[in-house]
Structure 1
Amino acid sequence: MTDTLDTATAPAGNPALTAPEGARGPADVVTPELAARLTRDVVGSGTTANHTPFTGDKLADLPESTPEDVATAFERARTAQKAWAATPARRRAAVLLRFHDLVLARQDEVLDLIQLETGKARLHAHEEVQAVASAARHYGRKAPAYLRPKGRIGAVPVLTKVSELRHPRGVVGQIAPWNYPFELSVGDALPAFAAGNAVVMKPDTETALTALWARERLIEAGLPAELWQVVLGEGPVIGPAVVQHADYVSFTGSTRTGREVAQGAAARLVSCSLELGGKNAMLVLADADLEKAAAGAVRGCFSSAGQLCISIERLYVHESVADAFLERFAALTRAMRLGSALAYGADMGSLVSRRQFDNVNRHVEEAVEKGAKVLAGGRARPDIGPLFYEPTILDGVDTSMTVCAEETFGPVVSVYRFGDEDEAIERANDTAYGLNASVWTRNGSRGRAVAARLRTGTVNVNESYAAAYGSVQAPMGGMGSSGIGRRHGSEGILKFTEAQTVAQQRLLPLAPSFGMDDEKYAAFMSISLRALKALRLR
């Protein structure tokens, strides 16, 4: 271990924020009464627990489900879904609008839970509130239009009347991750409910209270309680059971597990959507505003301690501005305040688990041993909490280092210099992943042209990730090993439906009639097809 990782010998690093005297703690937030109330409907016959990464202390005892419990949850959800599917789309959507208001009115409750369960700073927890409220508003307003029957041009205009209908799939099996337990649980479930489905969700056990708080608020807003079932347990045990019973599978998590989920769904001929890993790149072009780009890099690399699928892990900077940019970026990174208080003020919180901490530590240690230079951070901070790690900038990273290509999923970014834009685009695209990217330039049209050449599901120009993700009318998702399917917009709700075409033929059949033989009918239809093309009908 190098001294860059040794808290005893390293120079003073990021400032630590201490909680004010009398501040709320875990026991003040997660009372036995709250835990009992939130978990009373969880289908489970065993017992497990979750913990806060701030200290490692237990937060609550939780029910633990078995595969048999999962089957029971699907039975309950399937019964409730029939009546919900028959409910008019506008009434379903109205539940989301009431939920929107409840979330904003009682946001402090869920912010406390998000912080305690994930260890993230409060401002980063608020990003989840923003995302959930935006999704609730969007689908609360737009779901009826997305789901409305659509008239289509028939085989023979006027004579063939065609409607495209949308039916709910049934019961959606949702497997949600730990890193964004509010947004990636209820935020993804909202369009499924709006489309008329039920949901059986397996949130991560360590962040289950946040998802269960969301469920309680959605029920308060008018969602039938049986419609949203929650099961808890180890992923390798409960996850396959969810896939086994679902009519559609929604999964957010690692690429490795995503492949297993896809295989399980494919074996049953069940569709799925997968948002998986990323090794996202940020390009700082020669004409970028360096002050704004440096601040954007801090947001892009270190929000939620880098435990964000769309965060930046590779930073490509034009060689003409690299030194000036890195001076600004490193100074801002070193000034970031680390803390665990349930209040605003900290710039970054904790990693969520020992596994994540060890992965970050391993990537940085190996890179330093092979010659990388630490420009900022590069060490643990046990003086703040057991899983705190300073935001870290690595220079001189090469392909021999694991951090170069493998997803770190922590507060670590590697810096690379480039000479021209074609080189930067080629290097940014040189990855199996394709989730998010960021381009910084003073020339908007130039930035959009570069963005169009990047092989990622979203690209932000002069922002890191929030602009694209927050634009909820537009689809968001990954290419390549970053997944399949999209959330947000029309694709984010229509994926939870089955399309049905209803075609009514009127007056004349699509067959020989009026005494035509087969040859005359074929000639007539050929003339008709040419006419339809000439009339520019589609």
Structure 2
Amino acid sequence: MSFGLFNAPTPANEPVKEYRPNSPERGSLKNALAEFRAQETDIPMYIGGKEIRTDRKFRVAPPHDHHHTLGYFYEGDAKHVEQAIESCLAAKEAWANLPWEQRASIFLKAADLIAGPYRAILNAATMLGQSKNAYQAEIDSACELIDFLRFNVHYATEIYQQQPNSSPGVWNRLEYRPLEGFVFALTPFNFTAIAGNLPTSAALMGNTVIWKPAYSQVLSAKVIMDVLNEAGLPAGVINLIYVDGPVAGDIIFNHSDFAGIHFTGSTGVFQQIWGTIGANIHKYKSYPRIVGETGGKDFVLVHESASAEEVATGLVRGAFEYQGQKCSAASRAYIPSTLWPAVEAMMKQFLSELKMGGTEDFSNFINAVIDERAFKKITAYIAEAILNDQVQLIAGGNYDSSKGYFIEPTVLKVNDPRYRTMCEEIFGPVLSVYIYEPGEFDSMVEVINSTSPYALTGSIFAKDRYVIEQVSKQLQNAAGNFYINDKPTGAVVGQQPFGGARASGTNDKAGSALNLYRWVSARTIKETFVSPKRYEYPFLEAE
């Protein structure tokens, strides 16, 4: 029971630490890295507040040093999925009935724990388990996750405060109930913040959740659960399982209490899930909420009025930070012939200066791709392109998996704007560029709009304001996040709500109230203070 209308603390974006040499944060992070390196972490599942271990142990290794063992996680099976569902349903009533400010306090405490004592631990787990350098880990697993937790509480407060008008003699109210049933959070490897946000955002609104992370993200997932447990999250609210996807899906998507899925991953998997839910729609108590952010083939359109230096910097950062393994990574660029020589020269210079190697060496800008499967997929694109006489290798093109899954930042110049590397999502450090004549600019806008099925992010580099306005309008449906004179990556919670449409997802904008609305089911309550005692209306009276 609440005895007041409470204002949550006003959120502000968590400051990004720089990890300069001899700084306190650099020392703390190096110590945390050394501790993870020196031990083999035990990574259980968490169901109903209990640690669950099985006889199926899977080894966890750094992608940049796959001979080293970081620890082991325990894979579950169908019975563990069923246990997680039972745990969700058992915990649901108490959690849903807990006053919203009590739920909010748990996640605000979790944010402070990550900002303080867990910051180096969570960053180190991300650096080692997912091969992110210190800066990329900091902006992801520390700052963005902290921001998600704090801003979501702020947005939840705004939602609960939105109430209807009432006419004389009537009091109208809106309840924002959690969904009836349980929510399934299926999270990716590439952002620890996303992995933390998908289950916690639904839980904040009173839902209980089954969380299945990518196997390549389980080390940092365990740290997130440690944080939530220390923050006081009740048993059964979020149940963390490591189960093969089809096994989990077969049980979850056939259960009558399945209420929704919060997903980030591939377009193909999401479309398959959507089809399964549609086929099973008659089995559910209610229509499940389907929220997903999927793939991208993110573009950079360059006008001849742009600055070559700004373009080169935006492309190198946008395409190659975190090895291009961001849904928003710059993957295709359209550059005028008048600007290309300068852009090419600067990009080559920048790329020649980048170091590649393990994350523990803070001088490395480029680290490894996530696993062998990704390595083989990405390098197959590169190998095919090098053999194609319509493609010119501008930079990179080399790769080696003997110690880690390393792929050089690779730039391809294509003669056909619809060559496959300009159309298909690669999810790696490969940037394809098409050089057009300045007079063809308008046609390039249409090429961008029609080349790819995706619509996640995109950007325009130009100084001409008329061009910026033109492109913003013509490509309004080609990118859910559109950037002007900037790389198409780096959305900040509370500043640039993130998500795309078309084949890129449902565009429910993580990091905004729009996303939280998806995890509530509103109930309207009308109370009449003095009820009528006769059926007649005045119009029935005689003349």
Among candidates 520, 536, 542, match of residue 513 of structure 1:
536
Identity %: 23
Q: Does 1:47 align with 2:56?
A: yes
Q: Does 1:224 align with 2:244?
A: no
Partners of 2:418 and 2:447 lie apart in 1 by 16
For normalisation by structure 1, the TM-score amounts to 0.84
Alignment match, 1:528:
none
Partners of 2:218 and 2:373 lie apart in 1 by 18
Alignment match, 1:59:
70
Residues 27-46 of structure 1: pairs in structure 2 closer than 5 A: 28-29=35-36, 34-35=41-42, 41-43=50-52, 45-46=54-55
Residues 128-277 of structure 1: pairs in structure 2 closer than 5 A: 128=140, 129-152=142-165, 157-158=167-168, 161-169=171-179, 170-180=181-191, 182-245=192-255, 246-266=258-278, 267-268=280-281, 269-277=287-295
**Is the 8 Å Cα contact of residues 173 and 243 (structure 1) preserved in structure 2?**
no
SS at match of 1:163: strand
Is the alpha carbon distance of 1:506 and 1:336 closer, same or farther for their aligned partners in structure 2, counting shifts above 3 Å? same
The letter of the residue matching 1:423 is S
TM-aligned CA deviation for residue 295 of structure 1: 1.1
Among candidates 425, 438, 441, match of residue 459 of structure 2:
438
Is the alpha carbon distance of 1:395 and 1:83 closer, same or farther for their aligned partners in structure 2, counting shifts above 3 Å? same
Residues 212-361 of structure 1: pairs in structure 2 closer than 5 A: 212-245=222-255, 246-266=258-278, 267-268=280-281, 269-361=287-379
TM-aligned CA deviation for residue 184 of structure 1: 1.6
How many residue pairs get aligned? The number is 492
Partners of 2:495 and 2:249 lie apart in 1 by 30
Q: Deviations over 1:433-458 (max 9, x none)?
A: 11111122235675355234322111
Q: Deviations over 1:350-390 (max 9, x none)?
A: 0111111111111111112112111110110457x331000
SS at match of 1:35: strand
Partners of 2:151 and 2:349 lie apart in 1 by 39
TM-aligned CA deviation for residue 309 of structure 1: 0.8
TM-aligned CA deviation for residue 258 of structure 1: 0.4
TM-aligned CA deviation for residue 32 of structure 1: 5.7
Q: Deviations over 1:140-190 (max 9, x none)?
A: 33322223351146xxx546653332111142100111122x112112223
Q: Give the unaligned 5+ runs of structure 1.
A: 1-19, 522-538
Partners of 1:437 and 1:101 lie apart in 2 by 33
Q: Does 1:78 align with 2:89?
A: yes
Is the alpha carbon distance of 1:148 and 1:243 closer, same or farther for their aligned partners in structure 2, counting shifts above 3 Å? farther
Partners of 1:400 and 1:453 lie apart in 2 by 19
SS at match of 1:415: strand
Partners of 2:83 and 2:212 lie apart in 1 by 14
**Is the 8 Å Cα contact of residues 293 and 507 (structure 2) preserved in structure 1?**
yes
**Is the 8 Å Cα contact of residues 24 and 342 (structure 1) preserved in structure 2?**
no
The letter of the residue matching 2:479 is T
TM-aligned CA deviation for residue 27 of structure 1: 7.8
Partners of 1:299 and 1:346 lie apart in 2 by 14
**Is the 8 Å Cα contact of residues 176 and 184 (structure 1) preserved in structure 2?**
yes
Alignment match, 1:104:
115
SS at match of 1:150: coil
Q: Deviations over 1:181-219 (max 9, x none)?
A: x11211222321221112210011221121121111122
Alignment match, 1:451:
472
Q: Give the unaligned 5+ runs of structure 2.
A: 1-26, 282-286
Is the alpha carbon distance of 1:512 and 1:474 closer, same or farther for their aligned partners in structure 2, counting shifts above 3 Å? farther
SS at match of 1:303: helix
TM-aligned CA deviation for residue 34 of structure 1: 4.1
Is the alpha carbon distance of 1:257 and 1:229 closer, same or farther for their aligned partners in structure 2, counting shifts above 3 Å? same
Q: Deviations over 1:232-273 (max 9, x none)?
A: 022222244344443210111111100111123332331211
Range with bigger deviation, 273-282 or 182-191: 182-191
For normalisation by structure 2, the TM-score amounts to 0.83
TM-aligned CA deviation for residue 302 of structure 1: 0.7
Alignment match, 1:472:
494
Partners of 1:343 and 1:168 lie apart in 2 by 45
Partners of 2:528 and 2:442 lie apart in 1 by 55
RMSD of Structure 2 on Structure 1 (CA) = 2.8
Alignment match, 2:6:
none
**Is the 8 Å Cα contact of residues 43 and 74 (structure 2) preserved in structure 1?**
no
Is the alpha carbon distance of 1:343 and 1:493 closer, same or farther for their aligned partners in structure 2, counting shifts above 3 Å? farther
Alignment match, 2:100:
89
The letter of the residue matching 1:54 is H
Partners of 1:474 and 1:36 lie apart in 2 by 34
Q: Deviations over 1:65-102 (max 9, x none)?
A: 11221111121122223222222222222222222221
Is the alpha carbon distance of 1:36 and 1:43 closer, same or farther for their aligned partners in structure 2, counting shifts above 3 Å? closer
The letter of the residue matching 2:340 is A
Q: Does 1:481 align with 2:494?
A: no
Partners of 1:221 and 1:126 lie apart in 2 by 21
The letter of the residue matching 2:262 is S
Alignment match, 1:494:
517
Q: Does 1:426 align with 2:426?
A: no
